Amino acid sequence: MSDWFGIYSIDSAINAGLDLEMPGTNKWRTLDLMNRSIQSRKIMARTVKERARKVVELVVKCAQGAPGILDGDGEERTSDDPQQRVLMRTLAAESIVLLKNTSALLPLNPAQLQGKRVVVVGGNAKAAVLSGGGSASLKPSYFSSAWDGLVAGLGEGVEVVYCEGAAAYMTKPSLDHEMLTFTGERGWLAAWHAHTSEDSMEPLSEALKTQVVDETRMFIGTSIPAGITRRWTMKLTGQLKPRDHERLFEFGMAVAGRAKLWVDDKLIIDNWTVQRRGEEFFNSASTEAVGRCTIKANHSPKIYVEFCNVRSPAPADGDNDETVMDTNPGLRLGGAEVLDEDAEMAKAVELAKSADVVVAVVGLNADWETEGYDRTTLALPRRTDELVSKVAAANPRTVVVTQSGSSIVMPWADEVGTIVHSWYLGNATGEAIADVLLGKKNPSGKLSLSFPKRMEDLPSHGHFGQENGKVRYGEDLFVGYKHYVHRGIPTLFPFGHGLSYTTFEYSGLEISAPKIANNNIEVTASVTVKNTGSLVGSNVVQLYISMPAASHLTHPPIMLKTFVKVRDLAPGKSEKVALRLDKYAVSYWEERIERWSVDAGEYTVRVGSSSEQLPLVGSFKIGKGFEWNGL
């Protein structure tokens, strides 16, 4: 199966064994092009049948495992039960990483905060940040923000106050939970209209299909009604939830197609007449067009969008093409209240001064981290770094909770005593963050990547980007922690790092003699882990290998080969764990002979809590090397 729009040929893909072109509406594998390829002897009919047979076999296999695929009504439904919620909350909490707690501010004790004030700041505190963008972004059955989790966890006796301080969005935030139909349902009403002819731009007055849509970022291609004309129009109507104050509101709309937005019958955005090309919807959409209007207090403004699946010309980009978006039409409408950035920052700082504890929830979101897009910086969005620095200076009892799926830099790290990294935690985001911050869960997560001190320290920094369509992977084997260890570059937080509210001690490394038979190897390293703190905790023991020094090839200085998690170890208790190695731990790919190779020699074993904390060292020897093929 190809990636979405990942096919660039007919014969090469067919002959190489690619069974299915995605996203399902063929661009290359049309009946006409396939027949011409067969007639010109670029492909054979039997090869096409083999590819088709594989697709049918997949359909049969899926249907046997989930009969509803064929027998169901095709309606999308949500599965949501208490057991699933408990599991999601547990998994989310276990993945959270305590990066720093030098001030021992965490865990917070709700009982000791009764009658006191907790101030929550940051663009991610109330936002629905549960995943990255693109294919990772799904509609959740429910969502708990960091604000929701903290308010519920702290209880009624604690005053919890919020101020955003600095916005974190790139494009205007989704209005998924702000939009209502005129009958009070969540969402807005979509009506599809065919046009008077296949090539006409004039829609018929009668709708071919209507349905309530509960999101304002829409991949429309999966819901286009059968029998509609090649060019068509979709009309969306709804209303925004009222707010208790008058506000200047800014809307943003990006489209793979063309559209206009009216608010209370006034045209606010024209992304129809002329566009600029953008990166939304797999680089097929316009940039975000914006418009502002004033919304009165306690008023629900009427929202009306008219969308057509034909792109508008973009003369400023040298593109006057008016393509019919028959495979990937899309629309995203967002919006946010317009705030004075300086005043909002000052308000957050003043609130921080008055707080007994400050929790800053900051980071990235699906705008900044998504597929088909490279981040241009490791910095946090907009004025977020400034916010953290100023709030921490105003109140040393500040906890910073960061969210991202990749590395970020923290120029304020030395100014803050407590930092927690929470990734993208899914539905139970806020509940999990509160569980860790309030001590219901002892953090045990570890970093699955390195956080550098600055972007210039990245392995790819010197050759990042492309020239003439070519990307050079100059870091070769020295990716991630291997680069930092090899170059002796200190990280901000190393790969594998993660603290706990308790402490652990490693001792007694024992390594068995290798057992080699049938092109395989078995080695076991044993380590004793002791909880030297005062709380029950879990810890991930990591084992790294260094290849023999006499190797004729260059290898990274250390390589993670296995790990094991010691769970719920009581204070003062010890547990002996076994870390098992096999041929994969000592093999490398020898490209000259196209085989996996295991060298004879002495292999160094290092065990510890991160790639930079490996106190236990031992070794084992392989007397005679060997080679092998396969997986």
Residues tagged active-site = 3
Q: Using omega within 30 degrees of 0 as the cis cutoff, is the peptide bond preceding 107 cis? A: yes
In order, the DSSP letters of 598-615 are: E--EEEEEEEESBTTB--
User: Which stretch of DSSP H or E encloses residue 349?
Assistant: helix 341-354
Asked if 622 and 598 count as a contact pair (C-beta separation under 8 A), the reply is yes
Which among 539, 531, 527, 530 has a CA at the least distance from the CA of 565? Answer: 539
Chain CA centroid to CA 438, Å? 25
How close are the terminal C-alpha atoms of the chain, in Å?
A: 21
Compute the C-alpha angle 311/314/315, nearest 5°.
145
Q: Which residue blocks in 123-255 are alpha helix, DSSP H? A: 146-154
Give the Cα separation of 544 and 496 in Å (integer): 11
Longest dimension (CA), the chain: 82
Compute the C-alpha angle 255/259/265, nearest 5°.
135
Which among 573, 581, 625, 617 has a CA at the least distance from the CA of 601? Answer: 625
Asked if 134 and 365 count as a contact pair (C-beta separation under 8 A), the reply is no
Helix (H, G, I), strand (E, B) or coil at 515: strand
* β-pair type (398-403, 418-421): parallel
* β-pair type (418-421, 466-467): unpaired
The one-character DSSP state at 307 is: E
Asked if 129 and 173 count as a contact pair (C-beta separation under 8 A), the reply is no
In order, the DSSP letters of 551-598 are: -SS---S-EEEEEEEEEEEPTT-EEEEEEEE-HHHH-EEETTTTEEEE
Asked if 557 and 502 count as a contact pair (C-beta separation under 8 A), the reply is no
Compute the C-alpha angle 342/345/346, nearest 5°.
85
Helix (H, G, I), strand (E, B) or coil at 241: coil
